[in-house]
Amino acid sequence: MRSLTKAIVVAAMFCCSVSAKAQTTAAAISGDFPDPSIIHTANGYYATGTSSEWAPHYPVYHSTDLKSWKQTGYVFDKAPDWTVGSFWAPEYYKIKDTYYIYYTARRKSDNISCIGVATSKYPDHGFTDHGVIIDHGKEAIDAFIYNDKGQLYITFKAYGLDNRPIELLAQKITPDGLKAYGETISLLKDDAKIGMEGQSFLKHGKYYYLFYSAGGCCGIGCSYHVKVARSTSFAGPYEKYEASELLKPAEGWKCSGHGTFTQDAQGKYYYILHAYNQRSEVFTGREGMLATLNWNGKNGWPTMKAIASKHAYPNIHDTFNAKKPALYWQYDFHNASPVVKQGNGKLSLSGTMLAGNKSGMMYGVRPMSDHFEMSTTVTNHNEASKGLAFYGTTKAVLGLTTSGNTVKYWLIKDGNTSLLDSATINANSPVELKFSMTPDRTCKAYYKQGKDEWKELATGNKVSISELPQWDRPQRVGLYFNGTPNEQAIFSRFDLVNKAD
- Say what the pLDDT of residue 5 is: 33
Number of residues that make up the chain: 501
Q: Report which of 34, 62, 59 is spatially closest to residue 48, judged by C-alpha positions.
A: 59
Tell me: pLDDT of 184 over 60.
yes
pLDDT, one tens digit per residue, over 43-81 is 988 999 999 999 999 999 998 887 777 899 999 999 999
Distance CA 51, CA 103 (A): 11
Non-local (6+) Cβ contacts of 449 within 8 A are 425, 426, 429, 430, 431, 432
Q: Which of 53, 139, 190, 197 is flagged as catalytic? A: 197
Instruction: Give the mean model confidence (pLDDT) for residues 143-147.
Output: 99
Tell me: pLDDT of 182 over 60.
yes
Non-local (6+) Cβ contacts of 350 within 8 A are 338, 339, 481, 483, 485, 486, 487, 488, 489
- Say what the pLDDT of residue 2 is: 36
Non-local (6+) Cβ contacts of 414 within 8 A are 395, 396
Q: Report which of 277, 327, 282 is spatially closest to residue 306, judged by C-alpha positions.
A: 277
Give the Å distances, CA to CA, from 161 to 37, 132, 139, 472: 24, 19, 7, 17
- Say what the pLDDT of residue 14 is: 32
Q: Which of 131-145, 246-260, 439-453, 457-471 has the lowest mean pLDDT?
A: 457-471
pLDDT, one tens digit per residue, over 386-407 is 999 999 999 999 999 999 999 9
Query: If you average pLDDT over every residue of the chain, what do you get?
Result: 93
Question: Quick one: what percent of the chain has pLDDT higher than 90?
Answer: 83
- For the question of residue 440 being annotated catalytic, the response is no
Please state, as a whole number, how many other Cβ atoms lie within 10 Å of the Cβ of residue 55: 22
* Cβ pair 127, 119 in contact under 8 A: yes
C-alpha 495: how far from chain center: 21
Distance CA 501, CA 24 (A): 10
Topology annotation, domain 315-498: Jelly Rolls (2.60.120)
Q: Report which of 5, 38, 8 is spatially closest to residue 259, judged by C-alpha positions.
A: 38
Residue ranges per domain, the chain? Answer: 23-313, 315-498
DSSP annotation of 161: T
* CA dihedral over 277, 281, 284, 285, signed as positive or negative: positive
pLDDT, one tens digit per residue, over 320-377 is 999 999 999 999 999 999 999 999 999 999 999 998 999 999 999 999 999 999 999 9
Distance CA 8, CA 18 (A): 13
Q: Report which of 329, 398, 376, 403 is spatially closest to residue 54, judged by C-alpha positions.
A: 329
Give the Å distances, CA to CA, from 228 to 184, 192, 251, 302: 21, 15, 22, 9
pLDDT band at 171 (very low <50, low <70, confident <90, very high): very high
Stated as kind and residue range, the H or E segment containing 212 is strand 207-214
pLDDT, one tens digit per residue, over 84-123 is 999 999 999 999 999 999 999 999 999 999 999 999 999 9
- For the question of residue 197 being annotated catalytic, the response is yes
* Cβ pair 404, 421 in contact under 8 A: no
Tell me: pLDDT of 4 over 70.
no
Q: Which CATH class is domain 23-313?
A: mainly beta
Q: Which of 35, 129, 142, 472 is flagged as catalytic? A: 35
